[in-house]
């Protein structure tokens, strides 16, 4: 049997088994299993044997950096972010990847990431998104709370070092103004159960052509609802979640899926999230 897993700590409810089992089924791989393995931070350094026993695995908090010492090679995506969320096992040789960036780029491929882009937040996912936007020529406004200004300054310096000629500025999220081709929420504001929260004013939403929200629970955040009510395109986090998993299957065994297959899984994930919240 080909064994796959998600490792992290703590592991609560996860959409990963649902997504990966559907992808395995679409690939006709019946002799597979996908499990959640909770590994405490103090135990991760001794887990090389466990990793070798798996055909492939996903990695989540808090192990995305610590597993780097356990793999034999880092793909360019993992080197770019110094972060691993996917490991492929090539005959005992472990290769680390970052598929979060693929998940974002594929789910946002119809959005204007090369235009004027406001990124709300500068944490892990916000950092990745801001760097990808810069790599694709976007003009970035990092909109953060006052406590995160220093982190935003560090991110700005990282972007300028990695992307020569990039355009980056920092703004207070409560005083954000201007107009944007794309507004990206990379904060937890609006996440279940605090679904009545929105990170920016209606004016900013009105002045943005499109919206991307990394949150997948709820499937339609208040930010997305407001944007759609104004006639804007709004994409939610379920698509990013599914697309990063799709990339993992491409890595693990050369999986291939149609756009229709992927759209169906995204809908299944959204339905599962909605049912979970009832």
Q: Which residue numbers are catalytic?
A: 64
Of 53, 156, 159, 167, the residue nearest 116 (C-alpha): 167
Of 54, 39, 115, 55, the residue nearest 252 (C-alpha): 55
Which three-class secondary structure string do you get for the chain? Answer: CEEEEEEECCCCCCCHHHHHHHHHHHCCCCCEEEEEEECCHHHHHHCHHHHHCCCEEEECCCCCCHHHHHCCEECHHHHHHCCCCEEEEECCEEEEECCHHHHHHHHCCCCCCCCEEEEECCCHHHHHHHHHHHHCCCEEEEEECHHHHHHHHHHHHHHHHHCCCCEEEEEEHHHCCCCECEEEECCCCCCCCCCCCCCCCHHHHHCECEEEECCCCCCCCHHHHHHHHCCCEEECHHHHHHHHHHHHHHHHHCCCCCHHHHHHHHHHHHHHHHHHCC
């Amino acid at each position: 049997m080909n064994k796959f897993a998600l490792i992290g700590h703590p592991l609560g409810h996860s959409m990963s088994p649902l997504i990966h089992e559907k992808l395995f089924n679409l690939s006709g791989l019946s002799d597979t299993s996908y499990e959640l393995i909770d590994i405490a931070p103090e135990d991760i350094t001794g887990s090389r044997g466990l990793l070798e026993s798996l055909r492939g695995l996903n990695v989540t908090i808090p192990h995305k950096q610590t597993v780097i010492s356990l793999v034999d090679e880092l793909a360019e995506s993992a080197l770019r972010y110094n972060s691993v969320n996917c490991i492929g096992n090539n005959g005992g040789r472990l290769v680390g990847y970052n598929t979060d960036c693929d998940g974002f780029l594929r789910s946002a491929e119809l959005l204007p990431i090369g235009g004027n882009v406001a990124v709300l937040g500068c944490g892990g996912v916000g950092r990745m998104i801001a760097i990808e936007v810069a790599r694709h020529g976007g003009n970035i406004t990092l909109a953060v709370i006052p406590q995160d200004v220093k982190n935003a300054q560090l991110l700005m310096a990282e972007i300028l070092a990695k992307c020569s000629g990039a355009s980056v500025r920092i703004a207070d999220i409560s005083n954000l103004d201007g107009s944007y081709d794309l507004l990206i929420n990379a904060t937890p504001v609006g996440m279940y159960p605090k679904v009545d929260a929105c990170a920016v004013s209606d004016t900013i939403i009105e002045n943005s052509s499109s919206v991307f929200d990394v949150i997948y629970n709820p499937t339609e955040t208040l930010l997305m609802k407001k944007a759609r009510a104004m006639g804007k395109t709004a994409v939610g986090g379920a698509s990013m979640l599914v697309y990063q998993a799709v990339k993992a299957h491409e890595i693990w065994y050369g999986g291939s899926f149609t756009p229709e297959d992927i759209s169906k899984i995204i809908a299944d994930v959204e339905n599962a999230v909605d049912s979970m919240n009832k």
